[in-house]
Structure 1
Amino acid sequence: MSATPEGSLFDDALMGDPHGVYAKLREAGPVHRTTTPDGATVWLVTRHQDVRPALADPRLSLNKANAHSTGQYQSSMPPELDAHLLNMDPPDHARLRRLVSKAFTPRRIEALRDRVQALTDDLLDELPADQPVDLMESLANPLPMGVICELLGIPLGARHDFRTWTNTLLSPAPDAALDSRAAMKEMHRFLVDTIAAKRTQPTDDLLSAMIEARDANDSLTEPELLAMAFLILFAGYDNAVNLIGNAVLALLTHPEQMAAVRHGAVPVRAVVEETLRWNTPFTLAVRRFALEDLTIGGVSIPAGARVWLSLVSANRDGEQFQNPDAFDSTRTPAHLGFGHGIHYCLGAPLARIEGEVALTSLLGRFPGLRLAVPVDKLEWWPSFHKRGLRALPVTW
């Protein structure tokens, strides 16, 4: 079986209605050969029964040195930011993951809950009582940013550009590679300066510990130090931003489930897990490259091909989930929102806690919480890689 390209599937229709478009793609076939906005050929995998094993398949490499296809979309970084976990296979992947995973164990992250709560309380204290507010700007964006920057030891005054950089890196525009390179150059300059400052005056944070591992133990190279700092900063907060926004929106549009949470019939953790399935914040797994000729879903994929695994599609697959388009916080969690296998999201425990604390605090403080605009007036970020709101106006 083969998949024949018919133009690019990555268009305005997919950005505007990813769940509807992916439903049609799943029905049409398990794998679709298509192109990215800049013309690179990719194989798009849509069904849960194929996506889950592919996420852990060692024949699919994250190292772009194994690519035979052309195109730069979302796959090219300057070498100084390239040596991180999402570009590595074993054994280098295992070495680096061991180095940073100590800071992201469930026990260590749970110890941050009080700090996450304090940051949330501070942000909610600043909300006006007599006018609508944008929860993305007031809570969903600054909370994960504040947490990850504290974890890394990034000074408060240096955080304002990160959101702009992240949105640029995830842009779907055909010429996004040029803007992305400019953003990455700025991030690289910032990280070089920050690491130099921490070498002079180390503090009790993850970045200082990574610098010590580099300088004292020689556990990672200087490019790996820079690239890992970039990855933790970039990936460590954007998923949580959209998880919070998507979870709040899910409850606002499902008042019966919001009432169940308020009355204690449904735990907040269940809302977070169902949001990760129903409205997956990070919609495509990191691109992979076939190390050999292989078959997925009966479709032949040649060695060197670029493969994209759709998490958002797999999480709405009716062959895996009963009534998949319904938001149901009582279902047993079984999603791929954080991936699967050795590349399972390192920051998953932190994102979960941030989501739980944000939702619990919002519902506790604002019993009249509701949307300030009709739901069809909400705008989503134009991206094939993430599902997140531009703004979430609410009142109470």
Structure 2
Amino acid sequence: MTTAEPRSYPFGEPERLDMEPLFADLRANQPLVRVRLPYGEPGWLATRYEDVKVVLGDPRFSRAASLEHDEPRMRPQRSLPGGILSMDPPDHSRLRRLVMKAFTVRRIEQLRPRVQEIADGLVDEMVATGPPADLVESFGLPVPVTVICELLGVPYADRGDFRYWSDAFLSTTKYPPEEVQECTGRMRAYLEGLIAQRRAQPRDDLLSGLVAARDDEDRLSEEELVMLAMGLLVAGHETTASQIPNFVYTLLGHPDQLAVLRADLSLVPKAVEELMRFVPLGVGAGFARYALEDVELGGVTVRAGEAVLPALASANRDENAFPEPDRLDLRRRDTSHIGFGHGVHHCLGAPLARMELQVALGTLLRRLPGLRFAEGDAGVAWKEGMVTRGPERMLLTWDQ
């Protein structure tokens, strides 16, 4: 291992959705820097767009190797074997193929009318109740939670339980390790019960399809089945539920860009891409890749066996990839961000997340004229002790 004293990372406490200023200096002067996260061994932090793409896409960097190391991470718990996010091809490819057909752009577009129906129904309730409304509880969470429940085949009535378990699963300091372990066990037991139900009574849902792939085709192990179901349930709602209020918060803080969007709602898909680039979702970097051989990267030699963490938020603000990267520009021509990752681990649910975010933004702006903060910053409470950023409460009002 390199002997340079690593910097403590994250570099500071996250402030709302602000970017850490140090990233710009690092990209210019030290694009690969040694860091130490709260848990695990030290590693390299890649901050430039092109370097991050190499780490994510080059087979010389391995996710599976993280299981053999004390992986640098934000949380006490380590990655569990059997999870798709801790695999390399061909195992990763085998599991990904099992669920890809449920997340193709064509299949997701077929779901758009149903997602629109969900969004309109939630706004109907907001309008009937009247402002102010908490965007998180009234809209941001229910949209993706309802969609993933229907897609996967999880009862919506159980959303309170799996939301709590998911929060614990993604906790850095919000919950003690013992509670995280207990919640993980409870979520696992819950999904094992649903899997048993689908074995007895198959339905037209993704979970039944995965059970069939396990039982009839032997295309995944029982452990892989359970871990895949857990990953889909957590990832299928948590990130989008955070990004809906994040995007609204960002737009309200950029009234010139909000006016552009309100004047032309056909820009919503482009706006979603620019917001994915602009908004830093994660508190810190994660999912380290390990070099399988010596690799020249960012002006240094990463030795075989060393970990590299891709800083996606920094890469999305790289001056060499995006002109004026710290400016929100909903008409930006190049929106080739890596907010959904890159390479073999590019987010499987990206088409679903894109569509949900498009429907959510378009519906809010169309249905709630004059949408604005009800109490300014006092009406926004931010998550603490989690791997993702976002409001846990955001009070909004609108013209009636």
One-letter amino acid of the structure 2 residue matched with residue 118 of structure 1: E
Structure 2 regions of 5+ residues with no counterpart?
none
| Structure 2 CA distance for partners of 1:37 and 1:18, relative to 1, 3 Å | farther
Alignment partner, residue 92 of structure 2: 93
SS at match of 2:45: strand
Give the Å deviation of 1:197. 1.3
Alpha-carbon distance between aligned partners in 1 of 2:155 and 2:343, rounded to the nearest angstrom = 34
Q: Which moved more, 1:199-208 or 1:165-174?
A: 165-174
Alignment partner, residue 375 of structure 2: 373
- Report percent identity of matched pairs: 42
Q: Which moved more, 1:354-363 or 1:154-163?
A: 154-163
Alpha-carbon distance between aligned partners in 1 of 2:24 and 2:395, rounded to the nearest angstrom = 29
Alignment partner, residue 212 of structure 2: 212
The answer as to whether partners of 2:40 and 2:72 remain within 8 angstroms in 1 is yes
SS at match of 2:9: coil
Alignment partner, residue 105 of structure 1: 104
One-letter amino acid of the structure 2 residue matched with residue 299 of structure 1: V
Give the Å deviation of 1:285. 5.2
Give the Å deviation of 1:147. 0.4
Alignment partner, residue 279 of structure 1: 279
SS at match of 1:307: strand
| Structure 2 CA distance for partners of 1:207 and 1:67, relative to 1, 3 Å | same
Q: Which moved more, 1:229-238 or 1:39-48?
A: 39-48
Give the Å deviation of 1:235. 1.3
Give the Å deviation of 1:305. 2.4
One-letter amino acid of the structure 1 residue matched with residue 289 of structure 2: R
Alignment partner, residue 295 of structure 2: 294
Give the Å deviation of 1:62. 1.1
| Structure 2 CA distance for partners of 1:134 and 1:292, relative to 1, 3 Å | same
Give the Å deviation of 1:373. 2.7
1:270 aligns to 2:270 (yes or no):
yes
Alignment partner, residue 222 of structure 1: 222
Give the Å deviation of 1:289. 1.9
Alpha-carbon distance between aligned partners in 2 of 1:352 and 1:7, rounded to the nearest angstrom = 35
Alpha-carbon distance between aligned partners in 1 of 2:22 and 2:75, rounded to the nearest angstrom = 21
SS at match of 2:382: coil
Alpha-carbon distance between aligned partners in 2 of 1:189 and 1:158, rounded to the nearest angstrom = 13
Q: Which moved more, 1:276-285 or 1:43-52?
A: 276-285
Structure 1 regions of 5+ residues with no counterpart?
none
SS at match of 1:161: helix
Alignment partner, residue 49 of structure 2: 48
Query: Residues 297-355 of structure 1: CA distance to partner in whole angstroms, max 9, x if unpaired?
Result: 12233332232101111001112111111110100211010011111111001001111
1:10 aligns to 2:10 (yes or no):
yes
TM-score, length basis structure 2: 0.90
Alpha-carbon distance between aligned partners in 1 of 2:69 and 2:188, rounded to the nearest angstrom = 27
Equivalent runs, 1:236-385 vs 2, <5 Å: 236-264=236-264, 267-282=267-282, 284=285, 286-332=287-333, 333-375=335-377, 378-382=380-384, 385=387
Q: Which moved more, 1:15-24 or 1:57-66?
A: 15-24
Equivalent runs, 1:36-185 vs 2, <5 Å: 36-38=37-39, 40-64=41-65, 67-69=68-70, 73-74=74-75, 76=77, 82-127=81-126, 128-173=128-173, 177-185=177-185
> Could you say what the CA RMSD is over the residues aligned between the two structures, in angstroms?
2.5
Give the Å deviation of 1:53. 1.7
